[in-house]
Amino acid sequence: MTTQTNTGAPVTVRRYSGSARLNHWVMAISFVLLLLSGLSLFHPSLFVLSGLFGGGGTARWLHPWAGLVFAISFMGLFFRFFALNLPERTDIVWLAKLKHVLTGHDEYLPEVGKYNAGQKLVFWIQAILVPVMLITGLCLWAPGLAWMEQTLGFKASIDQQRLAALIHAMAAVLAILVWIVHVYAAIWVRGTIGAMTTGTVTGGWGWRHHRRWLREEVVAHGTTEHPRVTPGE
């Protein structure tokens, strides 16, 4: 095995379909809108962020509507990727070697499928936080309260609304922390962003970070007519 075989462009591997990427970007854009409009109300020092929306009034009404778009798009991605995020034995091994993860020594990590344990954690933590933010968000929103009273027969008391505000803010902080980890990982691990822009990654990226997934892709699609694994010219 030599290290000098690198002639020509690397192979590319398809990671996300167009609809998955569209779904992801709808969710990502609505999340950023939620983050900016939500944080502008979170602390006086962040109120300036509401200027991005043209004022606090607009940030206030936009936020819950963006929340609905976000919750629906999250649900789309949840069902799309649910099965691939189910826990397995290697996840524990991977997590036990978190030190190597953080130092970028992927060679000491077990071969993982489409998602590693870190990605699965992001998935499942958000899967808990999104419904929490949705329910508490509805309790803070006049149309949401009216809707719950009409269709569910549930009238939130003022004390429950206070609690909803506290929980919403805390869940939002947690979701933003998870989001920071998610975005940072995408930037730090070079070659990842392409998965969500063009939908492809290089074979080397797959080999380094998701080797079992790469092997499965090669076996499943390597020789088909529209190969999902494309050798570069």
Does residue 63 interact with ligand HEM by CB under 6 A? yes
Residues in the chain: 233
C-beta of 162: minimal distance to other proteins in Å? 4
Inter-axis angle of helices 18-42 and 56-81, nearest 10:
140
Does residue 148 interact with other proteins by CB under 8 A? no
For the CA atoms of the chain, what is the radius of gyration? 21
Does residue 161 interact with other proteins by CB under 8 A? yes
Inter-axis angle of helices 117-138 and 89-96, nearest 10:
100
| Beta-bridge mates of residue 14 | 200
- By CB under 6 A, which span of 166-174, 191-199, 203-211, 221-229 interacts with ligand HEM? 166-174
Instruction: List C-alpha distances in Å: 75 to 80, 119, 151.
Output: 9, 17, 21
Catalytic residue among 63, 168, 182, 209: 182
Catalytic residues: 182
Using CB under 8 A, list all residues that contact other proteins: 3, 5-6, 10-11, 13, 40-45, 47, 50, 55-57, 59-61, 102-104, 106, 140, 142, 158-159, 161-163, 165-166, 169-170, 173, 176-177, 180-181, 184, 187-191, 202-208, 214-215, 218, 222, 229, 231
